[in-house]
């Protein structure tokens, strides 16, 4: 029978076992299915491969091997069939032993990495697939319900505070509370940069001071990436005309402004949070 698939579990390290000459696990799945079904067509169906693809894979393997791995019969009363030769069975057995050791290595390595709380959080964050350019991870400091919504204050790296507005329903559904780790998502076009504003008091609740790290001009607009104290970065998108008017360049001190309503909070629903 073809070897069983690995049960689904969180993975940080993953790899495929591959032999010299580009012989992959797929070939050995096919050999195992031929041993179980006695036919190439049946084996191809077993592992969800096209009949043509199975034949081509077997022909290449047979050509590479000093001895034939699979014997085939065409026609006859039983409509033909296929079976592994003794060298084919030996090679399949050796590969399955190597595959099990390889899987055990991956299980052990992933268990070690997932056993470290800091690394587990780091790798879970890497798994996120979000379109928003700015992703700032932080811890909830305060939750203040109001008539129009709920104000949530976060503490991010470097000691910055960040404010988000969410609906009461969202705050209740997410069970937002002090100490909870969340991710704040802000789209780059919603971030306004201010340079040299002379100490004026501003109405924007979120004001993150930093230094321009790089300026990248595109065909339509310009992306400006700002380094924040603590290591986080935040990006803003502006027109080429705005860039020229502000005379922004790497190394300039700026303040990133954005409204609490433009912040979307994300929460990892799995145990351990984000």
One domain, residues 138 and 248: yes
One domain, residues 72 and 181: no
Residue 266, pLDDT score = 85
Evaluate whether 234 touches 167 at the Cβ level (below 8 Å).
no
Residue 235 lies in a domain: yes
Residue 92 lies in a domain: yes
Q: Which helix (H) or strand (E) holds 113?
A: helix 86-114
Domain that residue 49 falls in: 18-115
Any bridge partners for residue 222, and if so which? 217, 238
Evaluate whether 198 touches 191 at the Cβ level (below 8 Å).
no
Residue 274 lies in a domain: no
One domain, residues 33 and 153: no
Domain count, the chain: 2
Residue 112: helix, strand or coil by DSSP? helix
Residue 49 lies in a domain: yes
* 3-state DSSP helix/strand/coil % of the chain, to nearest 5: 35, 30, 35
Strand order in the sheet with 181-186: 161-166, 150-156, 134-145, 181-186, 264-266
Of the residues 55, 83, 115, the one at which a domain ends:
115
Residue 38 lies in a domain: yes
Residue 175 lies in a domain: yes
Q: How many whole angstroms separate alpha carbon 229 and alpha carbon 215? A: 18
One domain, residues 29 and 142: no
pTM of the model: 0.54
Residue entry with tokens 């008017």: 245
Residue 177 lies in a domain: yes
One domain, residues 196 and 243: yes
Mean pLDDT of the chain: 83
pLDDT tens string 182-219: 889 999 999 999 998 666 777 788 999 999 999 999 88
One domain, residues 188 and 160: yes
Of the residues 67, 86, 115, the one at which a domain ends:
115
Tens of pLDDT, residue by residue, the chain (274 residues): 445 555 445 566 778 888 877 788 999 999 999 999 999 999 999 999 999 899 888 888 888 788 889 988 765 444 458 899 999 999 999 999 999 999 999 888 888 877 777 666 666 655 554 445 688 889 999 999 988 889 999 999 888 899 999 998 888 888 999 999 888 999 999 999 999 866 677 778 899 999 999 999 988 899 999 999 988 999 999 999 999 999 999 999 999 999 999 999 987 655 444 4
Residues in the chain, overall count: 274
Of the residues 115, 131, 156, the one at which a domain ends:
115
Residue 89 lies in a domain: yes
One domain, residues 81 and 129: no
């Amino acid at each position: 029978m073809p070897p069983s698939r690995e049960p689904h579990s969180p993975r940080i390290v993953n790899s495929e076992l591959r032999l010299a000459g580009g012989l992959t696990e797929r070939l050995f799945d096919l050999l195992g299915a031929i041993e179980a079904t006695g036919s190439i067509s049946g084996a191809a169906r077993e592992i969800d491969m096209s009949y043509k693809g199975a034949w081509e894979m077997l022909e290449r393997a047979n050509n590479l091997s000093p001895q034939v791995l699979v014997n085939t019969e065409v026609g006859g009363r039983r409509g033909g069939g296929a079976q592994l030769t003794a060298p084919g069975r030996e090679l399949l057995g050796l590969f399955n032993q190597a595959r099990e050791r390889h899987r055990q290595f991956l299980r052990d390595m992933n268990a070690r990495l997932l056993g470290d709380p800091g690394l587990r959080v780091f790798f879970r964050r890497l798994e996120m697939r979000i379109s928003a350019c700015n992703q700032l991870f932080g811890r909830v400091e305060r939750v203040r319900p109001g008539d129009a919504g709920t104000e949530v204050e976060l503490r991010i790296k470097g000691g910055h505070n960040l404010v988000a507005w969410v609906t009461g329903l969202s705050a209740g559904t997410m069970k937002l509370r002090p100490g909870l780790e969340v991710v704040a998502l802000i789209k780059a076009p919603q971030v306004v940069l201010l340079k040299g504003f002379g100490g004026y008091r501003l109405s924007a609740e979120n004001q993150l001071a930093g230094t321009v790290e790089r300026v990248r001009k595109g065909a339509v607009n310009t992306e400006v990436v700002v380094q924040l104290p603590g290591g986080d970065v935040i990006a803003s998108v502006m027109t080429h005309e705005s860039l020229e008017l502000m005379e922004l360049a790497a190394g300039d001190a700026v303040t990133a402004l954005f409204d609490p309503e433009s912040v979307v909070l994300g929460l990892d629903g799995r145990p351990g949070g984000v």
